Amino acid sequence: MRKYLPFTIIALLSSLLSVTLFNFISPRRVVWSEDASGDVRYAHLVDKLFSDRTNSPFRSSSPTDFIIAAEMATPAVVNIKALIEESGGLWQGGSMTGSSGSGVIMSPDGYVVTNHHVVERSTDIKVTMADKREFSARIVGSDPSTDIALLKIDGRDLPFVVFGNSDSVRVGEWVLAVGNPFNLESTVTAGIVSAKGRNINILRGGASIESFIQTDAAVNPGNSGGALVNTAGELIGINTAIITESGSYEGYSFAVPSNLVQKVIRDLREFGSVQRAFLGVSVQDLDAETAQEMGLPNGEGVLLNRVASDGGAAEAGLQNRDVVVGINNTRVRSTSELLEFVGRFRPGESVTLDYWRNGKKLRSSVHLKDVNNSTKIARVQGNELEDELGFEIRDLSNSEKNRIRLQGAVVNSITKGSLVYQTNMQPGFVITSVNGSRVKSAAEAIDAIKNAYNNLSIDGYYESEPDLYSYRFKKRGG
């Protein structure tokens, strides 16, 4: 045994000498990292195993599981089944079709947010919770320009999801999609945020707002209206769409940011319709070539193509070819980001714009207006005539306008035994004129009916029927 001892000692000394020489001669490894300010810095490997400081730019580490977030969100995500009555005409029977999707309970007294396209034209809506309780729901209001709808169910002490701040969401952040794909209840999938401010041209109408959060969390038919939550279980978006050629998930899904959702549902709850504010401009994304021609530092920003003479932007001094790069001290890179931010405000409120003109950076405060260049809040809810005449009306959706090529207001519901019920008018009737005067919206129709002395003549059309229908009756007391 003693004869092997010298060899063992020599081997150990040789190994120690080799390691020492390698560490002395070999170069130190360098890791490139970027901090939150965008400054590139070096991050050398630390000499000790546990350091008092870390060079990681992240404020928190990614979780190894999503159990807590899933347990917080899942009870508040519901399954929605919406029945649509397809009219076969005045003298023909109709048929019932249905759609299904998801929704998110936003308050313990039963307000539920979902997508407009899930409940559009629905006459009967059923909401089923994760614990199998079922409720009938009514539509409080719906906004096709953001694809958001607000429902109400009669409940107390219901589980609900807390809003998170979608502006603070970062690309690369872990998120969960919770919904009911293919009617598979309470399904949770995970992914990361792969982009923000994404426009995929899925919503119709010139006033639509598309500034989606893009994720790779699996979303399939039936997930629409469900929750996109962060790892704290906070709602950061409403899942709305996928890009697909097969009809099912193929890699990317898109959610309406929670900050925009909050504004929309507040309006729907308070007014029954969205109080939409506008800058009064026509815009396009800035490209690198145009930015170079204008002497701008980069291609980020929004180019103003046209500034309406009576809009808020014109009154604030903005001009054609100005390039907006910021709003309320928040950087603006694209038209989708600008439209989303403005969409969070109501007419009469103000925003501060930063913009480039002739190589100089300027700032102006813009007083926002509605589509009619008014700063007043429109308070029409559609049920103003229910007590007196027995029907509710609403504005035509963008899809209905494109489909039937009419302007006016659509009859949403009729109370049995009411004055309107006795005329044989049917839900779905599109009012185009009142006492011979054309109406273009629910607000105009309500004003015209209220201002009529006693005799009423309401004219309009039913979808897929070319004939003009007229309903004549007297108001109560007339």
Q: Where are the domains of the chain?
A: 65-273, 281-367, 386-474
Quote the tokens at residue 434.
């009142």
User: When comparing pLDDT for 136 and 386, which is higher?
Assistant: 136
Considering only 156-160, 361-365, 382-386, 406-410, which range has the smallest mean pLDDT?
A: 382-386
The identity of residue 138, as a single letter, is R
From 99, 100, 145, 147, the catalytic residue: 147
pLDDT in tens, 59-109: 444 555 799 999 999 999 999 999 876 655 444 455 667 789 999 999 999
Active site residue 44: no
Residue closest to 337 by CA, chosen among 362, 374, 300: 300
Note the CATH number of domain 386-474: 2.30.42.10
Predicted pLDDT at 23? 56
From 117, 143, 194, 253, the catalytic residue: 117
Active site residue 441: no
Q: Tell me, yes or no, if the pTM score tops 0.85.
A: no
Question: Could you tell me the fold of the domain covering 281-367?
Answer: Pdz3 Domain (2.30.42)
Q: Which CATH class is domain 65-273?
A: mainly beta
From 142, 145, 224, 334, the catalytic residue: 224
* Res. 31 pLDDT band, cuts 50 70 90: very low
The pairs formed by 455-459 with CB atoms below 8 angstroms and a separation of 24 or more are 458/425, 458/431, 458/433, 458/434, 459/431, 459/432, 459/433, 459/434
Average pLDDT estimate for 324-340: 95
Active site residue 167: no
Predicted pLDDT at 117? 93
User: Is residue 438 scored above 50 in pLDDT?
Assistant: yes
Domains 65-273 and 281-367 share a fold: no
